[in-house]
Structure 1
Amino acid sequence: MRTGEGLTRPPGGTPLRDPDIGDRRLMTRRAVWLAVLHLLIPGSAQSLAGSRRVGRVVLGLWLVGWVALVVALVLWFVLPQVLLTLPTNAVGLSLLQAAAVVWAVCWVLLTLDTVRLLRLTRVVPVARGAVAGGLALVLLIGVGGAGWAAWATGVARSSLGTAFANTRVDLPASGRYNILLLGGDAGPGRSGLRPDSISVVSVDALTGHMVTFGLPRDTNPIPFADGSPMKKLYPNGYGANGRCNVDVCELNSIYTEAQLKEQALYPDAVRNHSSAGIEATREAVEGALGIPIQYYVLVDMTAFEPLVNAMGGVTVTATQRLPIGGHIVNGRLTGVKVWIEKGTHHLDGNKALWFARSRYGSALGDYDRMARQRQLEDAMLHQMNPITLLTRFDRIAKAGSNAIRTDLPQALLGVLAGAAMQSRSQKTVNVEFVKPAYDPAHPDYARIHRVVQAALH
Structure 2
Amino acid sequence: MTGAQQSARRPVIENRPLRYPNTASRPMMTRRAWWLLVFNFLIPGSAQVLAGNRRLGRFGLGATLFGWILVALSIVTLLLWQQVFFAIATNWFVLLGVQALLFAYLVLWIVLTIDTLRLVRLVRTGSITRFAVALVGVGAIVLAGSGVVWASDRLGGVRDSFGEIFAESGPSVPPSDGYYNILLLGADSGEGRDSMRYDSISVASINADTGAVTITGIPRDMVNVPFAPGPMQDLYPNGHSGHADPVCGWGSGINQLRTEVEVCRDGTALYPDAVANGSEPGIEATKDAAEGLLGIEIPYYVFIDMHGFAALIDALGGVDIEVTERLPKGGGPAYDGQPAEEWAIGWIEPGMQHMDGDTAQWYARSRYTTSDWDRMLRQRQLQEAILAQFTPMNVLNRFNEVLNAGTAIVQTDIPQSMVPYFAELALKSKEQPVTTIELTPSGVGGIGIIPEELSADDVAFIQDYLQQALHPPTPTPTPAA
User: Which TM-score bucket, shorter chain as reference?
Assistant: 0.7 to 0.9
**Pair 1:438 & 2:440 matched:** no
In 2, the alpha carbon distance for the partners of 1:385 and 1:422 equals 12
Output the CA distance in 2 between the equivalents of 1:387 and 1:420: 15
Contact 2:63 2:105 in 1 (8 A): no
Task: Name 1:25's counterpart in structure 2.
Answer: 27
When the two structures are superposed, what TM-score results if normalisation uses the length of structure 2? 0.83
Tell me, yes or no, if structure 1 residue 322 matches structure 2 residue 327: yes
Q: In the TM superposition, what whole-angstrom CA distance separates every residue of 1:47-78 from its partner, at most 9, and x where no partner exists?
A: 22223333333333333333333333333333
| Equivalent residues in 2 for 1:29-68, closer than 5 Å | 29-68=31-70
Aligned residue for 1:360, secondary structure, equals coil
Which letter maps to 1:82?
V
> Which residue number in structure 1 is paired with residue 372 of structure 2?
366
Q: Are the counterparts in 1 of residues 309 and 361 from structure 2 also a CA contact under 8 Å? A: yes
Please give the residue correspondences for 1:148-227 in structure 2 after superposition, counting only pairs within 5 Å.
148-174=150-176, 176-205=179-208, 207-226=210-229
Q: For 1:220 and 1:357, how far apart are their aligned partners in 2?
A: 21
| Cα-to-partner distance string for 1:281-318 (whole Å, 9 max, x where unaligned) | 01111111222112111101012234444556545442
- The percent identity for this pair of structures is 44
Return closer, same or farther for 1:422/1:42 CA change in 2, 3 Å cut-off.
Answer: farther
Deviation at 1:278, TM superposition (A): 0.2
Which range is displaced more, 170-179 or 319-328?
A: 170-179
Using the TM superposition, name which of 161-170 and 139-148 deviates more.
161-170
User: After the TM superposition, which segments of 4 or more aligned residues of structure 1 sit over 6 Å from their partners?
Assistant: 242-245, 385-388
Distance 1:454 1:105, change over 3 A: farther
CA distance in 2, matches of 1:130, 1:382: 47
Match of 2:479 in 1: none
C-alpha deviation, 1:183, in angstroms: 0.8
Q: Of 270, 278, 284, which aligns to 1:279?
A: 284
> Are residues 206 and 41 of structure 1, via their aligned partners in 2, closer, same or farther at CA, if it must alter by over 3 Å?
farther
Q: What letter corresponds to residue 328 of structure 1 in structure 2?
A: Y
**Rounded Cα–Cα distance in structure 2 between residues aligned with 1:367 and 1:17:** 78
Q: Normalization by structure 1: what TM-score? A: 0.87
Aligned: 1:266 with 2:267: no
Paired residues in the alignment total 449
| Aligned residue number for residue 346 of structure 2 | 338
Contact kept in structure 2, 1:316 and 1:347, CA below 8 Å:
yes
How far did 1:420 drift?
0.5
Structure 1 match to 2:256: 253
In the alignment, the residues of structure 1 paired with residue 372 and residue 30 of structure 2 have an alpha-carbon distance, to the nearest angstrom, of 73
Residues 282, 332 of structure 1: CA spacing in aligned structure 2 closer, same or farther, 3 A cutoff? same
- Aligned mates of 1:72, 1:430 — CA distance in 2: 36
Instruction: Choose between structure 1 and 2 for higher RCO, CA contacts under 8 A separated by at least 6 residues.
Output: 1
Unaligned runs of 5+ in 1: none
In structure 2, relative to structure 1, the CA distance for the partners of 1:204 and 1:74 (3 Å cut) is farther
**Contact map agreement 1:187 1:193 (CA 8 A) in 2:** yes
C-alpha deviation, 1:190, in angstroms: 2.8
Contact preservation (8 Å) 1:9, 1:18: no
SS at match of 2:302: strand
Are the equivalent residues in 2 in contact too, given 1:289–1:445 (CA < 8 A)?
A: yes
Q: Deviations over 1:80-108 (max 9, x none)?
A: 22222333342232123212222321221
Task: For 1:257, give the aligned amino acid.
Answer: E
- Give, in whole Å, the separation in 2 of the partners of 1:208 and 1:26: 62
CA distance in 2 between counterparts of 1:130 and 1:380 reads 48
Q: Return 5+ residue gaps in structure 2 as ranges.
A: 472-481
State the partner residue of 2:476. none
Q: Residue 259 of structure 1 contacts residue 276 of structure 1 at CA under 8 Å; is this kept in 2?
A: yes
TM-aligned CA distance change 1:58 to 1:145, over 3 Å = same
1:237 aligns with 2:239: yes
Residue 464 of structure 2 corresponds to 450
Using the TM superposition, name which of 128-137 and 243-252 deviates more.
Answer: 243-252
Deviation at 1:27, TM superposition (A): 1.7
Write the distance in 1 (CA, Å) between the matches of 2:422 and 2:295: 22
User: Which residue of the other structure, out of 113, 123, 138, is the alignment partner of 1:111?
Assistant: 113
Does the C-alpha gap of structure 1 residues 454 and 389 become closer, same or farther in structure 2, counting only changes over 3 Å? closer
Q: What does 1:75-94 align with in structure 2 at a 5 Å threshold?
A: 75-94=77-96
Is the contact between residue 168 and residue 276 of structure 2 (CA under 8 Å) also seen in structure 1? no
Residue deviations 1:319-372, cap 9 Å, x none? 22111223134596563342222234444433322121112243xx22222232
